[in-house]
Structure 1
């Protein structure tokens, strides 16, 4: 059953009511309050310019346990060469805009609409959204962004302008930041190759909501 949200009422149905494809609800808004409520309950928005706001809660969830991230021999060699410099929360605007504009295989467009950019930039300003930036010779060449809730980093998107840049960002996130879990949301072969695995929604929610608190820094 797909629920229709009232933009004047700040609530969500329980994520266990989502459809098989993860779709839970439609409508509402992208206010900071609604987004934080959504993420703290295992729900996230995913939609395109020509559709209403759609809210998802996939079961099972695709995640990476930081301690289980897989680093290939070629990636380990790349990291040892110190080809890239890495920073956190130094260029959120450019990271999210790059994620929205990068060409992706088998995708005609982007779900990162102008409304989404404004909404997540507001969360970043408030300290709830974060970015990892990967630069080469002073130029941003890759990175990722997401929302941090209770030690769970809910990854929204990543990009690479040169080989391995987004992988470096993800590895840095897993190894250098104290996280319970990296929420990848949906399966991709790329994320599976780096250690992604399925986690039942009930287990995901148990991790997410244990001693629930909003976190504002990495």
Structure 2
């Protein structure tokens, strides 16, 4: 059963989500609603031609920072110093790039103007963060997401040159700030770096600080 949200700040139990993870329709993208959603393992994912859709997948594709796998070639890239990494310096530019630069498994078009504004609001409130990768003073890669306790809920990443998004993800994992990175969407690229599926119950335990 798919629930229809109204102005009340409430979500149905994530266990009631459809097999594809769809849980609810409607509501808004206010900071309070987004924070409530992420704290219960729920996130919005929709396009301009649909209402706001809220998902709570039965399995979560995640990366434990201590399980991160870095290939020998990637270690050489990191040692070379070709990239500079910053955090929260150009959040708006990162989300703009993510909306136009395709990434594996997605076409980027789901980041609507309303979504951009909503996550910029979360960033200004200190709940959304970006990792930026620079080469010769040009922004060539990065990622952004929402912090929910010790879980980083990754929203999107982009790369204009080879290995730039990988560098951003490695920096995120090595920051020491998070127990878990929620990757949301499965890709072979992320799986090769150590990401794997866990149950929603396990995810919620970590999200709620019980594991």
TM over 0.5: yes
- Summarize deviations over 1:126-173 as a string: whole Å, max 9, x none: 000000000001110000000001100000000000000000000010
**SS class of match (2:183):** strand
Q: CA RMSD in A?
A: 1.2
Q: TM-score, normalising length from structure 1?
A: 0.93
User: Post-superposition shift, 1:65?
Assistant: 0.2
Which residue of 2 is the match for residue 207 of structure 1?
206
Which residue of 2 is the match for residue 121 of structure 1?
120
Structure 2 CA distance for aligned equivalents of residues 15 and 105 of structure 1 = 27
| Aligned CA distance change for structure 1 residues 60 and 109 (closer, same or farther; 3 Å) | closer
**SS class of match (1:100):** helix
Q: TM-score, normalising length from structure 2?
A: 0.96
Structure 1 CA distance for aligned equivalents of residues 57 and 110 of structure 2 = 17
Which residue of 1 is the match for residue 175 of structure 2?
176
Paired residue total: 210
User: Post-superposition shift, 1:209?
Assistant: 1.1
Quick check: 1:63–1:185 contact (8 Å CA) kept in 2?
yes
Which residue of 2 is the match for residue 55 of structure 1?
54
Which residue of 1 is the match for residue 25 of structure 2?
26
Quick check: 2:102–2:158 contact (8 Å CA) kept in 1?
no
1:9 aligns with 2:28: no
User: Post-superposition shift, 1:104?
Assistant: 4.1
Structure 1 CA distance for aligned equivalents of residues 208 and 118 of structure 2 = 23
User: Post-superposition shift, 1:105?
Assistant: 5.5
Structure 1 CA distance for aligned equivalents of residues 141 and 15 of structure 2 = 34
Quick check: 2:14–2:56 contact (8 Å CA) kept in 1?
yes
Structure 2 CA distance for aligned equivalents of residues 104 and 85 of structure 1 = 21
Quick check: 1:58–1:186 contact (8 Å CA) kept in 2?
no
| Aligned CA distance change for structure 1 residues 106 and 203 (closer, same or farther; 3 Å) | closer
Structure 2 CA distance for aligned equivalents of residues 127 and 112 of structure 1 = 20
Which residue of 2 is the match for residue 216 of structure 1?
none
Quick check: 2:98–2:108 contact (8 Å CA) kept in 1?
no
